[in-house]
Amino acid sequence: MGILSGNPKDEPMHYGEISNVWLASTAAKGAISCYQAYLNHAGDKDLKKIIEDLIDQAELESKECDKLLTENGISPAPLLPERPPVKLEDIPAGARFTDPEIAAKISADTAVSLVACSQVMGQSIREDIGALFAKYHATKTAIGVKILKLNKDKGWLIPPPLQVKRPDNA
């Protein structure tokens, strides 16, 4: 097999892997900034803990993806400036995200990121990159379960239409 045999870290990244890792790093950096803002807006302590977990995970992903890119001669996207903490009561009511809004958004973000991780895993030919995104997928799955439980416990979950009565098969 030549160039694609041996240690995967010695193999070149293909253009799809480069693009996927770069996009994952960029998305993680955007998530850090967005979730720092959500942390300022959130009032519920359980929601804040999950947001902090999401920030920690995004920081890890950004760092690991940037390291992978740099080791392969690719410049990662720059970091965004850190958001300063703000007191919740200093945010005007009309400008503030509510806890249910934040919970819905982080739920959607987590669902989308699971699909993105699966896509990178499927497109990678370097085992280390596939394994890295499998690790992210597993962590995001665990966080997603926590978000779902929070949404149910707090009464914030809005389910899609449920089929309560099934039509008769005639």
pLDDT tens digits along 60-78: 999 999 999 999 999 999 9
User: What's the pLDDT at 170?
Assistant: 62
| 169 pLDDT more than 60 | yes
pLDDT band at residue 101 using 50, 70 and 90 as cut-offs: very high
Give the model confidence (pLDDT) of 105-129 as tens digits. 999 999 999 999 999 999 999 999 9
**Other C-beta atoms within 10 Å of 8: how many?**
16
pTM score, whole prediction: 0.90
